[in-house]
């Protein structure tokens, strides 16, 4: 069935993705909207002290906003600025039942005279709002890493570092790699435990602190000590270079490899293509557009768009990716504090449409979130793609970020996101039109497509018509917020 075809194709093509690439350049993204991220930070970052009130608005530098040699005056005014941003934009008009004016009065009843005191006060007051994505981003290196992640590129070694528990203790491992990046070329492998950088053990340091030691000037060298499970520790040296973070990859099966005897929307599928989009960072939509141009030019007449594990990023990326596949129509709706609703619609004259007819199957899982869900909702609403996999995470809220003077940031939730049918995505997600067992969706442990058990399980699926109307997803209930301490770091 359709689900089996999608998952089998995605696994079969995975080994070929690093060798194939989109050859055509794509136009730059036209504008930046507030973004989504399941880890609690978003895509719209303003200037050193101010938060842009709307997309593209220039922010004032910090020194133009607050000038004082008196610590109490400076930190008090700083607190008031951030308090005012939240007062104006926080999506819950009740402020979780708080008198937000009284919160400020309480905070400033005693002078705030140090940076540490300012951080404690901000952290405590933001936590009182009871919204897990409204918080102070203050861990060393965390905000700098977020900015690199949203940019989608950096000068480093091309690894994604995540914490995990080993024998009851916190450790770090290489969760993902940039293909042909410095670490990949040096023999580092996904799943390796990271033990030391330049001979200094990583014990007791966060993933962000360690990432800061791996980024640096292009052409400089760094040593990593890693250990493959079951193996011995080894030290590898590599030269830092410019790397793309988890960039879009594409490949096309030959007719012999496809050999699927499937029909989508009444059209026979002779050649399947697979496009893997691991995130929605800045530039992801440009890469996706180029990838879609590439697979269509290569003769693909069915496309598996693989966004499993894609936790989101730039909301603008979701909009632009939808535009590649849709000629016109609504993509999403935003609901603000005062219940004002704005609808993002595709401008058919903008010239981003690549193909509005080639059948598309969007592959998602429970970790597909935020911007990915926005795209899934738009394609499902328009009947442009089948959604295969499992119900998505359900994070349909938008954050904005205050870029603070000391390298930290404050993020607060500003808007709710809805599908074009006015259905909230938050705590609901997007339901697939074709279900796929979780064990087959797993990016690391899913069965290979040659496995008889895999083929037997997948071919039992009966796919519904491709271009059917949307069905509201059942509510998922409150989903636990991802612990910020478990967020990835890129280097």
Residue 204: inside a domain, yes or no? yes
pLDDT bin (cut points 50, 70, 90) of residue 281 is: confident
Percentage above 70 pLDDT, the chain: 75
In this structure, the answer to whether residues 287 and 351 fall within a common structural domain is: yes
- Cα–Cα distances (Å) from 315 to 265, 269, 285, 325, 390, in that order, read 29, 32, 10, 16, 22
Q: Give the pLDDT score at 266.
A: 67
For residue 286, give the nearest of 33, 28, 20 by alpha carbon. Answer: 28
Residue 143: inside a domain, yes or no? no
Last residue of a domain, one of 244, 260, 288: 244
In this structure, the answer to whether residues 298 and 395 fall within a common structural domain is: yes
Show the CA angle centred on residue 365, arms to residues 360 and 366, nearest 5°: 145
In this structure, the answer to whether residues 229 and 249 fall within a common structural domain is: no
Residue 66: inside a domain, yes or no? yes
Tally of domains in the chain: 3
In this structure, the answer to whether residues 204 and 313 fall within a common structural domain is: no
Last residue of a domain, one of 214, 244, 274: 244
> Can you give the pTM of this predicted structure?
0.77
In this structure, the answer to whether residues 237 and 315 fall within a common structural domain is: no
Q: 55 pLDDT exceeds 70? A: no
Which of 24-33, 107-116, 358-367 is predicted most confidently? 107-116
Show the CA angle centred on residue 444, arms to residues 438 and 447, nearest 5°: 60
355-414 confidence digits (pLDDT tens): 888 888 899 999 899 999 999 999 999 999 989 888 999 999 998 888 888 888 899 999
Residue 49: inside a domain, yes or no? no
Which of 88-102, 289-303, 306-320, 385-399 is predicted most confidently? 88-102
Which has the higher per-residue pLDDT, 172 or 272?
Answer: 172
The answer to which of 154-168, 221-235, 245-259, 362-376 has the lowest mean pLDDT is 245-259
* Residue range(s) defining the domain that contains residue 165: 153-244
Which has the higher per-residue pLDDT, 217 or 313?
Answer: 217
Q: 467 pLDDT exceeds 70? A: no
In this structure, the answer to whether residues 467 and 427 fall within a common structural domain is: yes
375 CB-near residues (< 8 Å, 6+ apart): 307, 318, 321, 322, 362
In this structure, the answer to whether residues 88 and 30 fall within a common structural domain is: no
Q: 98 pLDDT exceeds 60? A: yes
In this structure, the answer to whether residues 296 and 160 fall within a common structural domain is: no
Residue entry with tokens 């049918």:
421
In this structure, the answer to whether residues 398 and 414 fall within a common structural domain is: yes
In this structure, the answer to whether residues 304 and 350 fall within a common structural domain is: yes
Which has the higher per-residue pLDDT, 293 or 265?
Answer: 293
Q: Give the pLDDT score at 3.
A: 54
Q: Give the pLDDT score at 424.
A: 94
In this structure, the answer to whether residues 388 and 272 fall within a common structural domain is: yes
Q: 64 pLDDT exceeds 50? A: no
pLDDT bin (cut points 50, 70, 90) of residue 126 is: very high
Element (H, E) at 415: strand 409-418
Which of 86-95, 173-182, 395-404 is predicted most confidently? 86-95
Percentage above 90 pLDDT, the chain: 49
Residue 141: inside a domain, yes or no? no
Last residue of a domain, one of 244, 265, 289: 244
Q: Give the pLDDT score at 147.
A: 81
Q: Give the pLDDT score at 164.
A: 93
Residue 41: inside a domain, yes or no? no
**CA-to-CA distance for 154 and 145, rounded, in angstroms?**
10
The answer to which of 238-242, 412-416, 479-483 has the lowest mean pLDDT is 479-483
SS3 at position 22: coil
Residue 108: inside a domain, yes or no? yes
Q: What is the mean pLDDT of residues 291-295?
A: 94
Which has the higher per-residue pLDDT, 441 or 325?
Answer: 325
For residue 427, give the nearest of 387, 397, 398 by alpha carbon. Answer: 397
In this structure, the answer to whether residues 106 and 157 fall within a common structural domain is: no
The CATH number of the domain holding residue 345 is 3.90.226.10
First to last CA, the chain: 40
Q: Give the pLDDT score at 448.
A: 39
Q: Give the pLDDT score at 109.
A: 97
Q: What is the mean pLDDT of residues 74-88?
A: 94
The CATH number of the domain holding residue 218 is 2.30.42.10
pLDDT bin (cut points 50, 70, 90) of residue 487 is: confident
CB-based contact 392:371 (threshold 8 Å): no
The answer to which of 237-246, 347-356, 385-394, 465-474 has the lowest mean pLDDT is 465-474
Residue 138: inside a domain, yes or no? no
């Amino acid at each position: 069935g359709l689900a089996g075809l999608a998952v089998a194709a995605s696994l079969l093509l995975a080994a070929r993705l690093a060798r194939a690439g989109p050859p055509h350049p794509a136009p730059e993204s036209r504008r930046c909207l507030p973004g989504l991220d399941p880890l609690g930070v978003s895509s719209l970052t303003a200037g050193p002290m101010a938060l842009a009130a709307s997309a593209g608005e220039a922010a004032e530098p910090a020194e133009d906003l607050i000038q004082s040699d008196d610590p109490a005056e400076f930190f008090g005014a700083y607190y008031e600025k951030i308090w005012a941003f939240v007062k104006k934009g926080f999506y819950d008009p009740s402020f979780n039942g708080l008198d937000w004016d009284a919160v400020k009065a309480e905070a400033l009843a005693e002078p705030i005279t140090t940076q540490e005191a300012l951080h404690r006060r901000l952290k405590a007051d933001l936590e009182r709002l009871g919204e897990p994505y409204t918080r102070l981003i203050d861990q060393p290196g965390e905000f700098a890493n977020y900015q690199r992640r949203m940019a989608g590129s950096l000068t480093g070694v091309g690894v994604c570092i995540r914490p995990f528990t080993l024998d009851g203790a916190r450790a770090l491992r290489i969760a993902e790699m940039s293909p042909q990046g410095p670490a990949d070329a040096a023999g580092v492998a996904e799943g390796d435990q990271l033990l030391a950088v330049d001979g200094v053990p990583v014990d007791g340091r966060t993933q962000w602190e360690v990432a800061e030691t791996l980024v640096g000037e292009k052409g400089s060298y760094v040593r990593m000590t890693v250990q493959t499970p079951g193996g011995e520790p080894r030290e590898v040296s590599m030269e830092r270079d410019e790397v793309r973070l988890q960039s879009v990859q594409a490949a096309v099966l030959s007719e012999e490899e496809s050999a699927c005897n499937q029909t989508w929307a009444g059209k026979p599928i002779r050649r399947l293509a697979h496009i893997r989009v691991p995130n929605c960072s800045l530039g992801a939509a440009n890469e996706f557009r180029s990838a879609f141009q590439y697979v269509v030019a290569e003769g693909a007449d069915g496309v598996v768009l693989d966004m499993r594990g894609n936790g989101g990023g730039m909301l603008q990326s979701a909009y632009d990716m939808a535009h590649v596949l849709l000629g016109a129509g609504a993509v999403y709706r935003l609901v603000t504090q005062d219940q004002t609703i704005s609808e993002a619609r595709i401008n058919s004259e903008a010239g981003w449409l690549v193909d509005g007819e080639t059948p598309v199957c969007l592959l998602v899982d429970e970790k597909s979130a935020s911007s990915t869900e926005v795209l899934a909702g738009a394609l499902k609403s328009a009947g442009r793609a089948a959604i295969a996999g499992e119900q998505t995470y359900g994070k349909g809220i938008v954050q904005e970020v205050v870029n603070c003077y000391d390298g930290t940031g404050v993020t607060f939730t500003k808007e709710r996101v809805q599908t074009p049918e006015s259905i909230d995505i938050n705590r609901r997600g997007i339901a697939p039109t074709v279900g796929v067992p979780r064990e087959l969706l797993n990016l690391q442990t899913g069965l290979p497509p040659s496995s008889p058990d895999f083929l037997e399980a997948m071919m039992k699926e009966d796919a519904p018509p491709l271009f059917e109307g949307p069905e509201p997803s059942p509510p998922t209930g409150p989903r636990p917020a991802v612990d910020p301490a478990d967020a990835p770091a890129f280097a």
